Amino acid sequence: MGIHSVVNMASHLQNASRARLGITSVPHAKYCLSVALALHRAGFISFVTRGGVHPPDPATVTTFEPEPLTNANVAKQRLWIGLKYSDNAPVLRTISAISTPKRKVNANLPALQRLVRGFDASHQRGLNLGECLFVQTDRGTLEARECVQRKVGGLLLVRAGP
């Protein structure tokens, strides 16, 4: 599927949070799973689970056991994502894709250091308070501040903020 699945996922999550949905689904893909887990680690979403075409029960999502992944059902698998709300306002207010299939944006360590401190770099504006920038590295999908700590650069995927 590739990068275009992340672009679709970003717009879908923004539309779902504006529509005040509690749970939504995106296609099961490697990039979507890595970005969803990174959003979960950053605290923007409440849970991520794999399932079929029907959503899991939100009350029992912690004990939900998805069916095994086989060649027969791989096309029907979805990632079910629980959206967070605080004081009736979405925690994930804006999310936008940076890299697209035609234009992949990479950032090295000095560019990421500038972005994290709030300065413009790599044709991107610096991060504001509460914003996160997710980067695909050889160590997985990390937030930009983690990349600076681990001294790695990579492909800029999405920018999320409250």
Residue 1's pLDDT is what?
Answer: 58
pLDDT score for 54: 80
Residue 137 is predicted with a pLDDT of: 94
What is the rounded CA–CA span in Å between residue 10 and residue 95? 6
CA angle 74, 76, 82 (to 5 degrees): 110
Coil vs helix vs strand at 138: coil
Task: Lowest mean pLDDT of 24-28, 122-126, 129-133, name the range.
Answer: 122-126
Can you read off the two tokens belonging to residue 150? 């681990």
Residue 60 has what pLDDT?
75
Q: Output the pTM of the full model.
A: 0.88
pLDDT above 70 covers a percentage of the chain that reads 99
What pLDDT does 38 receive?
Answer: 94
Report the C-alpha gap between 53 and 48 in whole angstroms: 15
Give tens-digit pLDDT for 15-73: 999 999 989 999 988 889 999 999 999 999 999 988 888 888 777 777 777 777 777 77
In percent, the amount of the chain with pLDDT more than 90 equals 65
Report the pLDDT averaged over residues 110-132.
91
Residue 120, amino acid: D
